[in-house]
Chain A
Amino acid sequence: MKILLIRSVSFQQVDRQWEEWRKRFPGAEWYILTHAHGEAAAGRYEGLRRVFVYPWKSPFCWYRPASCLKGESFDCVVVPFSNASGAGFGNVMLFTLTVRARRRLSCNLSGQWREWTCFGIFASALVRGMTAVAAGCLAALAAVPFALWWVWCFLRGGTRG
């Protein structure tokens, strides 16, 4: 069984959960996808077959697929969450759709697993899209008083530009 772990959390969290993940899938071949700065650190895990390097500086994102995974397929993609709810990791779940895999799983900080369907990932993206519109409106409203406050602080404080 080939499993791809998308390294979406700190290495300290991977340290904490790595053995637990391996026990859940005995005999599986593990692969990690990480950003370039994590390549050397990712190589230390026991039982790891290969480290793939995400070729972008920015976060995992569906419109920036990993060229290093071209031609690769996996039985399972695992996305760890650094919290209980998975809030903030929707972009990573959407990114998993660019990877050829039969199953998509998430594991939160407490070790709770959840299997995601493609429909579930899209539905969650839709909800996040609506939240994004509301947040954008609020940010635009907040920007006006903030801009005045910024100018006032500059004029008053003599700060450097």
Chain B
Amino acid sequence: MSAPLVSVVLVAWNRRDDVRIVLGKLRRQTYRPIEVVVVDNASEDGTAELVAADFPEVRLIRMPRNVGIAAYNTGLAAASGVYAVLLDDDSYPAPDAISRMVRRFESDPSIGVVAFDVRHVSAEDEESERSTSNVVRGFAASGYTMSFNGAGAGVRMELARGGDFYPAEFFLYNNELDAAFRVWDAGYSIVYDPACVVYHRHSPLHRDSRRAPYYYVRNIFWVVWRNYPCRLAARTTLSLFYRCFYAALEQRTAVYVRAMLDAVRGMPAVLRARRPVALDTVSRMRVAYETFFTFYR
């Protein structure tokens, strides 16, 4: 039987040099067949031109504007693999990571997402990337379930072909958590496999810090309203209100209150897309709400 096609979907935005390195590293993958889909979020630094000129084997999709994580949905809809690997524009898998991921998927049809071990590397570390571990265990073994890191994750394509794997309105952050609820509720599992390693480059262009507090907080409200059963959604919303005010007072910033107000403003549209999951799915998931209030610097 031939090996299943794997689609690597990467969303790029103004990181030309990182994208060149990532695509170069993808050529070193030991697994075949793979197709690489790059969705360029209207970069202005020549990222798309670089991909077109230097990586003719890559399927390039140019978005007319920066749509954030919705670009992954576009890439996934265009992908034809049996499995997909989602990457950031500054992360790349270890040479054997995709073959390990495929073995993991093939060993258990109930696995919906393989969460990679996303490791931080600086430029000087890259030539001495640390060896991979052979320890394999699922989050479920620990008695609760988890989400995954979108900088490196394998997805069974039957979960992602609909073009709505990530909620487009989120733009950035907590989209993985929303997807995780849907994956678990659909009867699939998310397993963390430390043998599947993705290296996340320490880019001098790290852009997270200013936008993270706003998007993480606004989107956690939306995750709750989209997925939680009604009573639990109301209770968690109150608790999030408290956390917003608490963090605003403690950190002396209005960003959390602004995120909260924008979340409420967007509530009618979010409620229209509401598909509550089973109470048990929410109860078993570990959601570290407190973490979303620690990104303000």
The residues in B between 269 and 297 inclusive whose CB is less than 8 angstroms from any CB of A are 271-272, 274-276, 286, 288, 290-291, 293-297
Decide yes or no whether B230 CB sits under 8 A from chain A.
yes
Enumerate the 9 nearest inter-chain pairs by beta-carbon distance, A residue then B residue, closest first.
A36-B142, A15-B120, A135-B246, A88-B294, A135-B245, A139-B242, A139-B241, A138-B245, A12-B120
* Given A83-B295, A87-B294, A134-B245: 9 more A-B contacts, CB < 8 Å: A36-B144, A39-B142, A43-B133, A57-B286, A142-B241, A150-B234, A153-B271, A154-B271, A159-B274
Kindly report which residue of chain B lies nearest to residue A44, judged by CB atoms. B133
Residues of B participating in the A interface, judged by any CB pair closer than 8 Å: 117-122, 130, 133, 135-137, 139, 141-144, 146, 192, 194, 200, 202, 229-230, 234, 237-238, 241-251, 264, 267-268, 271-272, 274-276, 286, 288, 290-291, 293-297
Decide yes or no whether A41 CB sits under 8 A from chain B.
yes
A-B contacts, CB under 8 A, total:
123
Could you list 20 examples of A-B contacts with CB < 8 Å?
Answer: A12-B119, A16-B122, A16-B202, A36-B144, A39-B142, A40-B137, A40-B192, A43-B133, A82-B294, A83-B296, A87-B250, A87-B293, A88-B291, A91-B290, A131-B250, A135-B245, A138-B245, A139-B238, A143-B238, A146-B237
Do B200 and A12 have beta carbons less than 8 Å apart? yes
Contacting residues, chain A, for B264 (C-beta < 8 A): 146, 149
Contacting residues, chain A, for B135 (C-beta < 8 A): 40, 43
Bound Cα distance from A87 to B296, whole angstroms:
9
